Amino acid sequence: MDIALLLADKILQLTLMVLLGYAIVKTKLLTSEQSYPISIIGLYIISPAMLITAFQVDYTAETLNGLYLAFFLSIIFSALLIFLGWLLKKTAKLDNIEQATSIYSNSGNLIIPIVASLLGNEWVIYSTAFIVVQTVLFWSHLRTLICGKGTVPLRKVIFNINIIAIVVGLMLFLLHIKLPTTIASTLSSLGYMIGPLSMLVAGMLIAAVPFKEIITDKRIYLVTFLRLLFIPLILLLVIKWCGFENWVINGDIIVMITFLATISPSAATVTQMAVVYGQDAKKASAIYGVTTLLCVFTMPFIIWLYLII
C-alpha cells in the first residue's frame, strides 16, 4: 500500500509539472510549437544520458537474471498489447489513432523518473527492457498503424539515439566498466531532468488542443478507459496467473517495473507520428492529455491491486 501512495504522490508531482507547461502556453510566454526544441534536448541529450546511467550498476548474476526476465516480460506484454489493440479495433470500432493510443504507452518519459524516485536509480536498468522493445515497435508496427505504409528500414531503428544509448550502457555493464566519476555525475545530473522536461513538454502540447474538443468527444474517454483500466486489468490477470514474480530473486519488483510501463498514459510518440504523417494529431494530443492527467488516479489503483492480489 505504501508503494501505491508513493506512486500517487510522484505522479501528482509530474502532473503539476504538466499543468505548469500548460500555463506557460496559455499565458503566451511560449507557444506549443516552441516545445519542439525542448523535445530535441530531451530526446538527444537527456534521455540517452539517463539510459546510460541506468546501466552503471554492479554486474551480478542476480542483476543479469532480472534483466533477462524484464526483456522476456517486455516482449510478452507488448505482444498482448498489440493483440488486445487488434481485438478492440474489431469490437469497439477503433480508428487507427484510437488503436495506437490504446496500445502504446508513455513508458520512457514517465516510467524512468518514477522508478528512479520510487525505488532508486539501481532499479532503472530493468525499465530499459520495455523501452528497447517498444522503440523497435514504434518504428515498425506503430508507423504502419499511423500511416498504413511498410516498415521503416532496420537501419533507422538500430541507429535511434536511445537504442544506441542502451547498447552502450549494456556493453559497459557486461564488460564491468564504470565511467569516470566526472562523466558519470554529469550524465546522472542530466538524467534527473527527464521527468520535469517531459512533463513540461506534455503540458505545452496539451495546451494546443481546444478544451471543448476534449470534454465533448466521447471516444476520447473510451480510449482513456481502455488504456488506463481495461488493458492493465487484463495484463494484471495474466501476471498473477503465470506467477512471473517467482521466477527470479526480486521478481516481484522487476515485474512491477515492467508492468508500470504498460499502464502509463498514451505515448507522446503517437501524437508526433500523427503530425508527421498527416493523421488526426488533435485527437492523439487530446487522448495523450486526458490519459496523462487521469493516470494520477489509475496507476496507483492498478499497482495497489498488483500488491494485494
Give the residue-averaged pLDDT of 269-298: 82
Residue 151 predicted with pLDDT over 60: no
Helices of type H across the chain: 2-26, 35-41, 47-54, 61-91, 96-103, 107-118, 124-137, 143-147, 154-158, 161-174, 181-191, 194-206, 211-216, 218-225, 231-242, 251-262, 268-276, 281-308
* Residue keyed to cell 510522484: 10
Give the residue-averaged pLDDT of 38-60: 86
Q: With bands split at pLDDT 50, 70 and 90, how would you rate the model's confidence at 207? A: confident
Q: Where does residue 237 rank: exposed (0-12), middle (13-18), buried (19+ CB within 10 A)?
A: exposed
Residue 68 predicted with pLDDT over 90: yes
- Reported CATH class of domain 1-308: mainly alpha
- Higher model confidence: residue 1 or residue 47? 47
* Residue keyed to cell 498514459: 265
Residue 146 predicted with pLDDT over 60: yes
Main-chain phi, psi angles of 109, to 5 degrees: -65, -35
Of 57-61, 137-141, 183-187, the poorest mean pLDDT is in 137-141
What's the whole-number average pLDDT of the chain?
87
State the pLDDT at residue 251: 92
Domain map (residue ranges) of the chain: 1-308
d(CA 202, CA 109): 10
Q: Tell me the β-bridge partners of 105.
A: 266
Give the residue-averaged pLDDT of 151-157: 64
Q: With bands split at pLDDT 50, 70 and 90, how would you rate the model's confidence at 148? A: low
Residue 242 predicted with pLDDT over 70: yes
Of 7-16, 84-93, 183-192, 239-248, the poorest mean pLDDT is in 7-16
Provide the angle, in degrees to the nearest 10, between the axes of the packed helices 61-91 and 251-262.
30
State the pLDDT at residue 289: 82
- Higher model confidence: residue 72 or residue 8? 72
- In contact, 117 and 110? CB cutoff 8 Å: no
User: Rounded to whole angstroms, what are the CA distances from 298 to 41, 264, 309?
Assistant: 30, 9, 16
Q: What is the pTM of this model?
A: 0.85
Angle (CA) 222 224 229, round 5°: 100
Cell digits of residue 87: 481485438
Q: With bands split at pLDDT 50, 70 and 90, how would you rate the model's confidence at 153? A: low
d(CA 91, CA 88): 5
| Distance of alpha carbon 286 from the chain centroid | 17
